[in-house]
Structure 1
């Protein structure tokens, strides 16, 4: 291309100054191609059409420069001066642009051609850059000043940008090229922030030049003063915990000897004595002879993660120990309960009565309850029938149940009246040391076979259900408050004569109560279940099948079915 090389630009120097570019307003939006200052203007106004051979020559020169710019990478434009009436340079206009030239408004290449510098960058006038334009245009000496700073406003937020600008005379105008510096700086800041947040830093060991480079975050990880030189791979061992050193040495030797990438975690001790867990990930660049020439990698501080892992492990151990304790306590409570009530389901013959027993403990975790029963024949041939429920669950409830069961049996064997037994059991609860329970309910019944007389007392317990001649009703309860509720209770006894075919049901509240439901509804269900045909099965089994839903249970269930 004739006259298109750099020689053509410098040879002409200022010889074309006598051919000024016609003043014309430019389109707004371009500052410096590739990201320079941007100011809006009123829109593009085309230069005056060529009217003489001089204009045609100028157009030819511009076309030649455009051909040169078409082959250049990066941001470059060709400016021609615009002279005022006084013969001084009043403005510059972009007459050609490299294809890769781009401004902040995303205009590229030919979109920039025709823009006026004065209208597009009004604040450039009078700056060192503007004076550099004028000096280069006048003298032909290339201008390359200090980085040019420009404050742009994007989305209402001002931001200072920096550019390295170069200006050279060419074909009576200027070739202006530049590189935006702050974009690289922003990327560096982003990288620094990312490293800090990830607690990670990069390292480069040039083994041939014996040069080590660390990022700032590596200094922070090792607690090393930035005034000190970064450590070589061999010097790392000075901070490594002794127990971890052999494994790290083997790992580094494998990296340098075999060229295999490594990913290894070890502990270091900082200058202030803090122990940190550090991860190194690195790979080696090998030469043609498979000798390492450079190692690239990163360090990561895993100390917070290791601490969290240790805390989690300690919590898991504590939870395991707690579960083991709960399992042991549950097993102990279950053993105690089974020792006290060895047979959960049985049929007994006592003093002419048939007594069917059903006991279903809930036993979820340590949710072992205090339901219990006793059915024994006394020395005089009569029968003692007892059912009770201690408030609460766990070992305390089981221990309390044992006290009540054996104390009641002992007093009954000595002939103590039933009402007196309840009074003394109430005193026992109130004066038990380390009393961790609240109250208990009970029914005690004494049956004399010679007279078929059943005497009974109750302490706040659900009433017995009597089935006679196919009909069921609850016995009126004699006076009696639950055990442990007051220091001055009063208990009365009630009696009835059992007839052949009579059935009596004693039970705990777990059989009739449901959360959020009135107890009368549960009592009505029990009547319906007790009077329903059993199909030959035990009456008690039919009642349990009708009323107990295993998945919905919330309490122990204990029941005695007594028939004459």
Structure 2
């Protein structure tokens, strides 16, 4: 080696700063020295902060220059960063000059009292260099705790410390993230080196196959031995496609694990080809799709069950609709009974789909009087239709035999309470008998809304006689009221679907109906105006009688 090839001798200076970076050691004078540094004779020269910053600007990685902060008794109470390398990054993602001026204990409070802190103080007081065990530090940023590991070195320099560090957990964190992602997705990666005949599996692939790691991975040629016989042709085609033609594969099949459990596995792989187009490496992943397959099966079963249930419901609704149409052959009709003109309209909320329990009767009795009835059974469907039929025909039968109206309601109440084998619930009802000889209407009600009378164009609701809804109690009392009808009077009997609006008071609906009826009193199609689609929120039945 010539003199020119030999390294320069560094100026002798006991206060010279030595910065260790990788396998090289730099002095503040810019000379390369050996590692560990050799003893250098005393030589003093000024070392201002800009010079330190200039030195750190030429260093890669993370390095800072710290100056001690002394307390009243001269003790070291903190360190302050006065210079930083451009590539320095701390746990808070602060970079380079963003760290200059920060206090160590204020910015990184967990350092206080740690081995790292004692190392800093010891190096500053006695010289030399500090290189301790990896230092773990946790900081809460944006409410999220972050824990990191650092390898830290510190060296005394002109009354301060040159500190460098390497973050150890970046690769480990990425590996943990990858492991978590694979575990959550039930998948793992696999590499096949076809030239060196070397196979590498991630831990998750061993878990997918239920295979002991000590046995090592299986080759692509051995894969069919683990596949169910029914799926072998498809797997064979996929392997030949991958190894023979180098074409990527995405195939799902079933395997039997050592414990006998059958799993659904997906392989996605592609080959790297040499210049001749021959596969030399294969990269891909295996995914355990058993859970997804089971979920898909459950969804299919639920869909089939729902379809069957929809079929049953459709059949029930169709039967209910047919039954109700048989009971009420005409949803809208006009009759002439005992000198009265009676118009009736019945409208379910959804025609043919939501058959309810609203009903009516309008017949002439053997004595020449007219029976007018409107009722509302709680609920929908077959039970409501069956209850409606019981009440309608029983009421008509008793009225034909001349049974007084209050007694009819009492017996209908008993019918609901004691019908064997079926719970009919409750029902409301209003029933009147009109005598044409006296033009007098006698009427009773069971928990029903009052009739609306329009006389001389003015609407008013009739006072309601005593009577609780049917099926509510064992010994109800029903009273009868009378009304003398005059020529030109209009009388409306209706169910609550005509006036009820969800979320609003029932009296608001009654007032609205009174105003609308008064406005339409001269309209020959008054029912069409009152029972429009926009005014219906439930099944609706209305009986309009005029003298």
TM-score above 0.5, yes or no: yes
Q: Deviations over 1:246-276 (max 9, x none)?
A: 1111111111121111111112111112222
- Tell me what 1:354 maps to: 341
TM-score by length of 2: 0.73
SS across alignment from 1:386: strand
Q: How does 1:84-103 map onto structure 2 within 5 Å?
A: 101-103=60-62
Aligned residue in 2 for 1:107? 85
User: Does the 8 Å contact 1:465/1:505 carry over to 2?
Assistant: yes
Q: CA deviation at 1:561?
A: 0.7
1:227 match: secondary structure: helix
The aligned runs of 1:2-21 (5 Å cut-off) are 8-9=5-6, 21=12
- Of 454, 478, 498 in structure 2, the residue corresponding to residue 491 of structure 1 is 478
Which one is further off, 268-277 or 536-545? Answer: 536-545
- Do structure 1's residue 474 and structure 2's residue 496 form an aligned pair? no
Q: Per-residue deviation at 1:186?
A: 5.8
Q: Give the whole-Å Cα distance in 2 for the aligned partners of 1:449 and 1:213.
A: 101
Number of equivalences: 469
User: Conserved in 1, the CA contact under 8 Å of 2:425 and 2:471?
Assistant: yes
Label 1:425 to 1:186 Cα distance change in 2 as closer, same or farther (>3 A): closer
The TM-score, its normalising length taken from structure 1, stands at: 0.71
Map of 1:145 onto structure 2:
none
Gaps of 5+ in 1: 37-43, 48-58, 67-76, 86-95, 112-117, 131-147, 164-178
What does residue range 400-479 of structure 1 map to in structure 2 within 5 Å?
A: 400-479=387-466
- Aligned residue among 307, 314, 319 for 2:301: 314
Q: Structure 1 residues 323 and 3, CA, compared in 2 at 3 Å: closer, same or farther? A: farther
Comparing both chains, which one has the higher relative contact order based on Cα–Cα distances under 8 Å and sequence gaps of 6 or more? 1
Match of 2:214, SS?
A: coil
CA distance 1:34–1:422, shift in 2 (3 Å): farther
Aligned partner of 1:363 in structure 2 is: 350
CA distance in 1, matches of 2:301, 2:21: 62
CA deviation vs aligned residue, 1:186-240 (integer Å, no higher than 9, x gap): 6555544443343322222222333322222211111111111311111111211
Mind listing any 5+ residue stretches in structure 2 that lack a counterpart? 43-54, 65-83, 88-95, 97-118, 140-146, 154-165
Instruction: Find the partner of 2:15 among 24, 27, 33.
Output: 24
How many angstroms does 1:155 deviate by? 5.9
Secondary structure, aligned partner of 1:473: strand
Residues 162 and 182 of structure 1 are in contact (CA less than 8 Å); yes or no, is this contact kept in structure 2?
no
Q: 1:277 matched to which residue of 2?
A: 264
Q: State the distance in 2 between where 1:316 and 1:494 align.
A: 56
1:281 CA drift (Å)? 1.4
C-alpha spacing 1:2/1:185, structure 2 compared with 1 (3 Å): farther
Partner of 2:70: none
> Whole-Å Cα distance in 2 between the matches of residues 338 and 35 of structure 1?
99
Separation (CA, whole Å) in 1 of partners of 2:515 and 2:178: 78
| Structure number with larger C-alpha Rg | 1
Structure-2 change in CA distance of 1:535 and 1:441 (3 Å): closer
CA contact (8 A) 1:20 1:82 kept: no
In the superposition, relative to structure 1, how do residues 261 and 126 fare at CA in structure 2: closer, same or farther (>3 Å)? farther
Report the CA distance between 1:367 and its aligned residue: 4.7
CA distance, structure 2, for counterparts of residue 119 and residue 375 of structure 1: 104
Contact 1:20–1:81, Cα closer than 8 Å, also in 2: no
Backbone CA RMSD of aligned residues = 4.1
